[in-house]
């Protein structure tokens, strides 16, 4: 059971995985959801020539005020879908931070604040492993309420191709359920 996450402002989120896992789209959706909620947002993604295979990341900083330092060094929230990304970013998390790591990533023993959840396996059950990023968004939002659920659904509809709306909305709901199980009840 994880302690209730105290949301800092600004809130620094790092989404990571392999190229092809939809990491950019995840960042766009969280950024859009935060914007839909009237917050200040800086969204940065960087990738190199090997982005389609190597570790990929997308960072979103959210605040009630203008954001002076958009860089993310230590993340308050890390989502990690691949071993590459875990090696690169797994320890770059603030001491009060929260990490959600896919359970297919072979990590030895979760540290404090690391929650291992079946993101890719859940996405496969839904019929499309490519929705693991959206399952992951659901889990971190259930755990940390970084943006409002309705604003994420709206952002999914704005950015995902219509034929994939339903499966992505399902993936988001499954993520909310997965993450919700780890919340401390008040």
Residues engaged in binding a second copy (CB under 8 A): 24, 28, 31-32, 35, 38-49, 51-52, 66-67, 70, 161-163
List, in order, residues 6 or more apart from 98 with CB less than 8 Å away.
Answer: 2, 5, 76, 77, 78, 113, 115, 140, 143, 144
Report the C-alpha gap between 96 and 102 in whole angstroms: 20
Contact indicator for 157, 118 with CB cutoff of 8 Å: no
CB of 84 to a second copy, least distance (A): 17
CB of 175 to a second copy, least distance (A): 23
Among 29, 38, 59, smallest CA distance to 138 is for: 29
Q: Which is nearer to a second copy, 57 or 174 (CB)?
A: 57
Q: Which is nearer to a second copy, 20 or 110 (CB)?
A: 20
Q: Which is nearer to a second copy, 28 or 142 (CB)?
A: 28
For residue 146 the two structure tokens come to 């970084």
CB of 22 to a second copy, least distance (A): 11
Q: Which is nearer to a second copy, 10 or 175 (CB)?
A: 10
């Amino acid at each position: 059971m994880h302690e209730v996450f105290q949301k800092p402002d600004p809130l620094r989120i790092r989404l990571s995985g392999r190229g092809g896992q939809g990491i950019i789209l995840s960042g766009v959706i969280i950024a859009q959801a935060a914007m839909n909620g009237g917050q200040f947002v800086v969204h940065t993604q960087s990738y190199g020539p090997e982005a389609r295979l190597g570790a990929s990341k997308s960072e979103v900083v959210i605040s009630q005020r203008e954001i002076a330092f958009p860089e993310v060094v230590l993340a308050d929230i890390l989502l990690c879908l691949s071993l590459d990304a875990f090696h690169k970013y797994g320890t770059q998390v603030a001491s009060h931070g929260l990490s959600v790591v896919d359970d297919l990533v072979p990590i030895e023993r979760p540290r404090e604040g690391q929650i291992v959840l079946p993101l890719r396996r859940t996405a496969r059950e839904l019929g499309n492993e490519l929705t693991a990023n959206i399952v992951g968004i659901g889990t971190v939002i259930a755990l940390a309420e970084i943006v409002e659920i309705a604003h994420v659904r709206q952002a999914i509809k704005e950015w995902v191709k219509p034929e994939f709306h339903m499966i992505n909305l399902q993936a988001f709901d499954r993520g909310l359920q997965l993450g919700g199980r780890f919340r401390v009840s008040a």
